[in-house]
């Protein structure tokens, strides 16, 4: 299959449907990265946290729908990205559904979905990014987790009651 170059990144020339879905996918992915960061850095339970968290969840739904379509078009090349997208969306839904009753699952689910989102991006695009193209491929699979999991653990730790304090 032929490739076209968009901003230095080779993109499969799989037809106009694929390129249209890809444009939607990229826009939704950028929205996820920005809104997920704002939600994570905002005061928990506040208007900003809830607003950007909802936008993140909806945009992630678009990312998952678009990666599903693109994976169907190019399954032999993209099946692993479908799995990463499905995991990201499932984690986000788990986090969203547990936002009130189980705050630890909320943090772990949405944080894990953000890690999966970034993992999918780096696995697919990392080998084509300047500087990153020198890294071995396994780095793209683990780097988001190496950075994100300690942050999730810290956020969950902040929600735990202090030791020795009884209510």
Reply yes or no on whether the pLDDT at 5 is more than 90: no
- Reply yes or no on whether the pLDDT at 4 is more than 90: no
Give the residue-averaged pLDDT of 112-128. 93
**pLDDT-derived band of residue 163, with 50, 70 and 90 as boundaries?**
low
pLDDT above 60: residue 166: no
Residues 6+ apart with CB under 8 A from 104: 156, 159
Number of H helices, E strands in the chain: 5, 2
Q: What is the predicted pLDDT for the residue at 43?
A: 84
pLDDT at 53: 95
Taking residues 18-45, report their average pLDDT. 93
Q: Are 122 and 140 in contact (CB under 8 A)?
A: yes
Average pLDDT, the chain: 90
Q: Are 29 and 117 in contact (CB under 8 A)?
A: yes
Model confidence at 167: pLDDT above 60: no
Cα–Cα distances in Å, from 66 out to 4, 46, 78, 109, 132? Answer: 19, 30, 12, 21, 25
pLDDT value of position 126: 86
Digit-coded pLDDT (tens) for 56-106:
999 999 999 999 999 998 898 889 999 999 999 999 999 999 988 898 999
Give the pLDDT confidence score for residue 81 in this predicted structure: 94
| Residue from 60, 64, 11 nearest 34 by CA | 60
């Amino acid at each position: 299959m032929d490739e076209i170059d968009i901003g230095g990144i080779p993109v499969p020339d799989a037809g106009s449907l694929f390129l249209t879905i890809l444009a939607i996918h990229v826009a939704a992915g950028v929205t996820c990265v920005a809104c997920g960061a704002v939600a994570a850095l905002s005061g928990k339970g506040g208007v900003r946290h809830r607003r950007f968290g909802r936008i993140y969840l909806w945009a992630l739904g678009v990312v998952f729908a678009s990666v599903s379509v693109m994976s169907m078009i190019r399954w032999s090349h993209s099946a692993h990205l479908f799995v990463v997208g499905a995991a990201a969306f499932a984690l986000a839904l788990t986090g969203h559904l547990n936002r009130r009753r189980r705050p630890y699952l909320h943090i772990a689910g949405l944080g894990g979905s953000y890690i999966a989102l970034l993992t999918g991006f780096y696995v697919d695009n990392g080998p084509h990014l300047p500087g990153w193209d020198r890294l071995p491929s396994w780095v793209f699979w683990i780097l988001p987790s190496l950075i994100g999991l300690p942050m999730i653990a810290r956020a969950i730790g902040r929600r735990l009651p202090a030791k020795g304090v009884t209510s």
